[in-house]
Structure 1
Amino acid sequence: MIRVMSFNIRYGLANDGDNHWNNRKTFALERIQAFQPDLLGLQECRDDHQAGYIRANLPEHHFYGIHRGGPGDTALEMAPLLFFRPAFALLDSGCFWLSETPEVAGSISWKSNYPRTVSWVRLVCRTSGRELLYVNTHFDYQPEAVSGDARCLGQWLERIGRSTPLILTGDFNAKKKSEAYQLLTTHLFDTYRRAHPDGADEATFHAFGHWEEREAIDWILASDHFQVLKADIDRAQRGNLFPSDHYPLTAVLDWKAA
């Protein structure tokens, strides 16, 4: 089994009042530890005390994150991925930018508000000996950029090829009726929809309990090398305190027969 979580933890400098990172960081960590992910994709994680807290409290997870770059304090923001060292060994890793020049650090295109990254690791499963690519990203929220980001990532997936086992996590800032979703699900399948075909109550973004803003913009996608044993949304809250303005999305996967 492979336990996968995608979790936008909301950047730590945001002025979120009672839901400021300092008030909810232990709650966010508890939700991660409760699920015990083998693969964990985070979004909006700044490489300061926020990333330091995650690293210090998940010592058995390898942390790989690249600054997205650009001007100002947001340059330190990452969409890092983590994997559980006892379950996987690292073979290779890399990062590219969602732009027309993906090899150029900090590059932007399609009227994107910020540079956006895709981080990946090639892993070998210590028990089965099988290899996979684990990929994590965070798309921009401008509509033109969302479509451009999806095309850029889709082109990379084409180059990787369908013979490669692959798991993708991310905050895609797009609805499941969007062009971005339709494009990416030509390459990979939606693990939550595979487990819940009716697509009911699948929203992950909630803006700290503003239910009218709920959207299913966080996805865990996988190649057909995997089957879904379980997929869930962790809706834990304590009164008006939330782990983040997104719910963590989880999936338990297993290899199909070779």
Structure 2
Amino acid sequence: MTYNIRFDNPQDGIHAWPNRQERVASTIRFHDVDVAGLQEALRHQIDTLAARLPGYAWLGVGRDDGRNGGEFSPIFYRKDRLTPVRHGTFWLAPTPGVPGSKGWDAALPRIATWAVFEDRSTGWRFLFMNTHFDHLGTTARTESARLIARRLAELAGALPVILTGDFNFTPEAPGYALLTETLADARIRTETPPHGPEGTFTGFTGEVRPARRIDYVFTGPSLRVLRYGMLAECEDGRFASDHLPVLVTLRRPD
């Protein structure tokens, strides 16, 4: 799953985090997600979700200082099913190892959090990476895609790869073309017809904007995409976030 949960902004009024937190947690819980890449999560939001999802652990650091400052791109995972073998975070910038780095024409620091997971029952391993590209910098989005493609190759080796995130670009963007040179868009690869609307951005309203597909799950060639769904669950005309979660069912190589 990939899910931009919207940072806790008190100015959101009825859509503020205290009014949404259980619905976000319930979405992950009900769909029995094995691993989820979240975006825009502040540390107290992560703590709230962790308390409501006791079957999950999480990995990640804040983008501002490499500790607890600013938004995280955390990875939540089922701790009874998966064990992280190694993990880390890098900044989407020419200085990826320097906390708080801002790259190219980006308005804000941006990060990618990654982990190599091992299936506790089979020993099978895969690389999972989660990110959030800049909302303003067009050069930053392209160069971030280039950096991530390079880091995926370095970190994964022969391991299967899953890349999730809010990329703030549509499929026509150069960054999308860069990533799909080696990865597949799960919506395109799915073996069953996609479920739900195409767009992923709602702005909290009861309407999904069709042209705004900016949240993705990308997969390496060895993984089969069995199902792809955009979860457009709405209560009283309101979504749990200003983005929709994307849920994908994958099958590992035989």
Please give the TM-score of this superposition, normalised by the length of structure 1. 0.90
Structure 2 residue 207 is matched with structure 1 residue 183:
no
Choose the corresponding residue for 2:22, options 26, 40, 44: 26
Deviations 1:224-243 (A, max 9, x none): 22111111010001123211
Q: What is residue 149 of structure 1 aligned with on the other side? A: 144
Q: What is residue 16 of structure 1 aligned with on the other side? A: 12
Deviations 1:182-210 (A, max 9, x none): 11111211112112679994211111125
Superposition deviation, residue 162 in structure 1: 5.8
Q: Kindly tell me the number of residue pairs found equivalent between the two proteins.
A: 249
Q: What is residue 131 of structure 1 aligned with on the other side? A: 125
Residues 62 and 84 of structure 1 are in contact (CA less than 8 Å); yes or no, is this contact kept in structure 2?
yes
Q: Which amino acid in structure 2 is aligned with residue 96 of structure 1?
A: F
Choose the corresponding residue for 1:140, options 120, 123, 134: 134
Q: What is residue 79 of structure 2 aligned with on the other side? A: 85
Superposition deviation, residue 161 in structure 1: 5.5
Q: Which amino acid in structure 1 is aligned with residue 17 of structure 2?
A: W
Unaligned runs of 5+ in 1: none
Alignment of 1:164-179 (within 5 A): 164-179=159-174
Structure 1 pair 21/161, CA: closer, same or farther in 2 (3 Å)?
closer
Alignment of 1:150-229 (within 5 A): 150-160=145-155, 163-195=158-190, 201-209=197-205, 211-212=208-209, 215-229=212-226
Name the CA distance, whole Å, in 1 between partners of 2:20 and 2:43.
18
Deviations 1:51-98 (A, max 9, x none): 11111111221211211006xxx9421110011111111211111100
Q: Which amino acid in structure 2 is aligned with residue 69 of structure 1?
A: D
Any idea what SS the aligned residue of 1:119 has? Answer: strand
Superposition deviation, residue 244 in structure 1: 0.2
Superposition deviation, residue 130 in structure 1: 1.1
Structure 2 residue 39 is matched with structure 1 residue 43:
yes
Name the CA distance, whole Å, in 2 between partners of 1:108 and 1:225.
33
Which deviates more from structure 2 when the two are superposed, residues 235-244 or residues 154-163?
A: 154-163
Q: Which amino acid in structure 2 is aligned with residue 65 of structure 1?
A: G
Q: What is residue 6 of structure 1 aligned with on the other side? A: 2
Residues 197 and 230 of structure 2 are in contact (CA less than 8 Å); yes or no, is this contact kept in structure 1?
no
Name the CA distance, whole Å, in 2 between partners of 1:198 and 1:33.
22
Unaligned runs of 5+ in 2: none
Structure 1 pair 118/56, CA: closer, same or farther in 2 (3 Å)?
same
Superposition deviation, residue 30 in structure 1: 1.4
Counting aligned pairs with the same residue, the percent is 31
Higher relative contact order (CA 8 A, sep 6+): 1
Residues 6 and 248 of structure 1 are in contact (CA less than 8 Å); yes or no, is this contact kept in structure 2?
yes
Name the CA distance, whole Å, in 2 between partners of 1:64 and 1:159.
20
Superposition deviation, residue 128 in structure 1: 2.2
Name the CA distance, whole Å, in 2 between partners of 1:181 and 1:199.
21
Residues 116 and 128 of structure 2 are in contact (CA less than 8 Å); yes or no, is this contact kept in structure 1?
yes
Structure 2 residue 55 is matched with structure 1 residue 60:
yes
Please give the TM-score of this superposition, normalised by the length of structure 2. 0.91
Residues 195 and 228 of structure 2 are in contact (CA less than 8 Å); yes or no, is this contact kept in structure 1?
no
Name the CA distance, whole Å, in 1 between partners of 2:113 and 2:194.
31
Structure 1 pair 105/115, CA: closer, same or farther in 2 (3 Å)?
same
Structure 1 pair 161/47, CA: closer, same or farther in 2 (3 Å)?
closer
Superposition deviation, residue 132 in structure 1: 0.8
Q: What is residue 99 of structure 2 aligned with on the other side? A: 105
